[in-house]
């Protein structure tokens, strides 16, 4: 079977954001495994307008085209006002079929590890028919970042990232059989 394609989605878009540091760290751990194709997918690159506000067919086609290439996702989630960012919610809303019958893991950060945002994301993923895995590395703004901005993850998180990726790959591979017609879709 061909390698699975896994997108590491950066959930924040603000100037000065921490998400690229976290995403590159996850990608580095993932690439050491050599078991799938891993790429950073930066929502900011797609310049998505607020869903439905303008025609924006070009941006939407680029976004849904990218998602269609992917078999699974790792969401890099940061907590904004106890939830996910508006940018990530908008990006989730801006596609539908391209999310369906795929798997996802979550790596979150915030003062409480981004736990509240991650739990909100799980509810949204259910509606989009994305199977979110159990293992969920949580990073603390206090102990895994210096001054809340320089990412210095504690060593213990690496094993958790690998365990999360094990689950994402298993479910991404299984769900690919639904999308390719080996098993009848729901």
Ligand X SMILES: Cc1cc2nc3c(=O)[nH]c(=O)nc-3n(C[C@H](O)[C@H](O)[C@H](O)COP(=O)(O)O)c2cc1C
**Positions in the binding site for ligand X (CB under 6 A):** 12, 14, 17-19, 78-82, 110-112, 141
- Beta strand 102-110 with 138-140 is parallel
- Minimum CB distance to ligand X smaller for 75 or for 80: 80
- Minimum CB distance to ligand X smaller for 33 or for 47: 47
- Minimum CB distance to ligand X smaller for 12 or for 94: 12
> Strand ranges (DSSP E) for the chain?
5-10, 37-42, 72-78, 102-110, 130-132, 138-140, 145-146, 150-151
Q: Residue for token digits 């799980």?
A: 122
């Amino acid at each position: 079977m061909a390698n699975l394609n896994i997108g590491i989605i950066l959930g924040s878009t603000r100037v000065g954001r921490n998400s690229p540091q976290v995403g590159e760290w996850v990608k580095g751990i993932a690439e050491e495994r050599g078991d799938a194709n891993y790429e950073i997918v930066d929502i900011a690159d797609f310049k998505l307008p607020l869903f439905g506000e303008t025609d924006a067919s070009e941006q939407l086609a680029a976004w849904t085209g990218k998602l269609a290439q992917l078999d699974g996702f790792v969401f890099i989630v940061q907590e904004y006002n106890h939830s996910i960012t508006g940018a990530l919610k908008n990006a989730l809303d801006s596609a539908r079929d391209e999310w369906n019958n795929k798997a996802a893991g979550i790596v979150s950060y915030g003062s409480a590890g981004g736990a509240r945002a991650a739990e909100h994301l799980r509810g949204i993923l259910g509606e989009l028919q994305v199977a979110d895995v159990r293992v969920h590395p949580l990073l603390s703004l206090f102990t895994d970042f210096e001054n809340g901005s320089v990412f210095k993850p504690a060593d213990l998180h690496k094993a958790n990232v690998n365990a999360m990726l094990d689950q994402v790959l298993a479910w991404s591979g299984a769900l690919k059989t639904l999308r390719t017609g080996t098993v009848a879709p729901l």
